[in-house]
Amino acid sequence: MMETAVLDDLRSATRTFIRETVIPAEPKPGERLDPDVRHALAAEARRAGVFAPQAPKEFGGLGLDIRQWSPIFQEAGYSPIGPSVINCMAPDEGNMYLLEAIASPEQRDAFLAPLARGQIRSCFAMTEPHPGAGSDPAALSTTATRVDGGWRIDGEKRFISGANGAAFAIVMARNEESEGVPAGSTMLLVDMSNPGVRIGEAIHTTDRAIDGGHPYVHFENCLVSDNAVLGEPGRGFSYAQVRLGPARLTHCMRWLGLARRSLDIALDRAAHREVFGSLLQDLGIAQTMIADSVIDIETSDAMIDKAVKLLAEDSRVGSAMSSVAKVYCSEAIFRVMDRAIQLTGGDGVSDALPLAQYINEVRPFRIYDGSNETHRWAIARHAGNTRRRSGYARQDVVQAGDA
């Protein structure tokens, strides 16, 4: 763990870098960041000592423990392009975490090292067209079949964030029982230059922050060697939990940074805009909206910290809490931005301010990483199971209710 004083210095340096270097270079609302500009800003981030805060030191990162990510990711997220510039953006950040946890030394050198250094991008290929895997990973339909010397992958994926321009994909595929491998799912590392990989139709979404979009990706007789298996074959679902729990939280961290900026924009407007003879900030209804936004931000921050702490102590319990944080933060952050738009009036819904862009960025988060409805179902199921396991469940309450 980085010492507190050093972490505070890194947070300050990240804040300065985002505000003084990144924000002036932001693209206009609705436009994507030019790759050349991103590379130039990434070089500046390296010189400022804020590049890849979560990546292993051996590969050029700063090696922060996951329990220290949130304040840095929030500072990066104060700009919609900040996480991409300092290399802590999805899906690369989640793939780095997964590779560090389960990849072989050879796979780390081949895939994690250039990813952490910002030399390449990646994608995570799990989501599929209906009736394949979406919010329900058990519906996985893409197959990985054993062949001489390796595996053949066949299937169709969609909403594969970052796929355009990615150097490799981590592919989730269903496998049958064979040669001592249990039936289940397998993760495979696949070069996007493989002749069996084809980028398909683009999916046009409201968000623009993730480089490479969210297109369909087709795997057709895609042959890979045994060395492409990430971890052990048949254990893909358990490995997915290693990635997905932290990835939900890092989305919360980054977007919470943008919620803080949204509130700052609203506060600046409220401090100078006069309405009916008073400053907007002095009107009770505006004060209520501002106070509610502060409450949403601070409770989101606390919830993220609790979930990360639990993940570090017990991945099963932490993963359950990450669902709670994902649902709450995705909705709270949207509320903060929506209030900011309301407080800034007509400018809020125009390109005079970036708030409309921000709310377009965060709205999909209630669907991405599992819909909030799916997470609510899992949260309720976990609550019931936890109560039953406690040994204190009261049958007399049930009986009284039936009477």
CATH class of 237-389: mainly alpha
Tally of CA atoms within 13 A in the half-sphere of 24 that contains its CB:
6
Q: Among the listed ranges 74-83, 135-144, 393-402, which one has the minimum average pLDDT value?
A: 393-402
Residue pLDDT, tens place only, 317-332:
889 999 999 999 999 9
Q: Is 68 helix (H, G, I), strand (E, B) or coil?
A: helix
Q: How confident is the model at residue 139 (pLDDT cuts 50, 70, 90)?
A: confident
Count of Cβ atoms closer than 10 Å to residue 113 Cβ: 18
Q: How confident is the model at residue 399 (pLDDT cuts 50, 70, 90)?
A: low
Q: Give Rg (Cα) of the chain.
A: 22
One-letter amino acid at 217 equals: V
| pLDDT for position 248 | 95
| pLDDT for position 395 | 67
Count of Cβ atoms closer than 10 Å to residue 127 Cβ: 20
Residue 138 in this model has a pLDDT that exceeds 90: no
| pLDDT for position 31 | 81
Q: Is 187 helix (H, G, I), strand (E, B) or coil?
A: strand
| pLDDT for position 157 | 98
Q: How confident is the model at residue 178 (pLDDT cuts 50, 70, 90)?
A: confident
- How far is it, in rounded angstroms, from Cα 204 to Cα 52? 28
pLDDT, mean of residues 180-194:
95
Please state which of the four CATH numbers 3.50.70.10, 2.40.40.20, 2.40.110.10, 3.30.420.40 is assigned to the domain occupying 122-234: 2.40.110.10
| pLDDT for position 396 | 64
Pairwise pLDDT comparison (143 vs 210), residue with the higher score: 143
Q: What is the architecture of the domain spanning 4-89? A: Orthogonal Bundle (1.10)
Q: How confident is the model at residue 132 (pLDDT cuts 50, 70, 90)?
A: confident
pLDDT, mean of residues 77-98:
97
Residue pLDDT, tens place only, 348-391:
999 999 999 999 999 999 999 999 999 999 999 999 999 999 88
Report the candidate in 197, 168, 39 with the shortest Cα–Cα distance to residue 108.
Answer: 168
Percentage of the chain modeled with pLDDT above 70: 98
- How far is it, in rounded angstroms, from Cα 352 to Cα 324? 35
Pairwise pLDDT comparison (128 vs 399), residue with the higher score: 128
| pLDDT for position 37 | 95
- Pairing status of strand 278-279 against strand 184-191: unpaired
Residue 315 in this model has a pLDDT that exceeds 80: yes
Q: How confident is the model at residue 62 (pLDDT cuts 50, 70, 90)?
A: very high
- How far is it, in rounded angstroms, from Cα 74 to Cα 264? 14
Whether 221 and 152 have beta carbons less than 8 Å apart is answered as yes
pLDDT, mean of residues 77-90:
97
122-234 with 237-389: one CATH topology?
A: no
143, β-bridge pairs? 154, 174
| pLDDT for position 402 | 53
Q: Where are the domains of the chain?
A: 4-89, 122-234, 237-389
Q: How confident is the model at residue 400 (pLDDT cuts 50, 70, 90)?
A: low
| pLDDT for position 397 | 61
Burial 337-372 (b: 16+ CB within 10 A, else e): bbbbbebbeeebeeeebbbbbbbbbbbbbbbbbbeb
Which residue bears the tokens 């804040």? Answer: 15
Q: Among the listed ranges 173-177, 232-236, 392-396, which one has the minimum average pLDDT value?
A: 392-396
| pLDDT for position 103 | 98
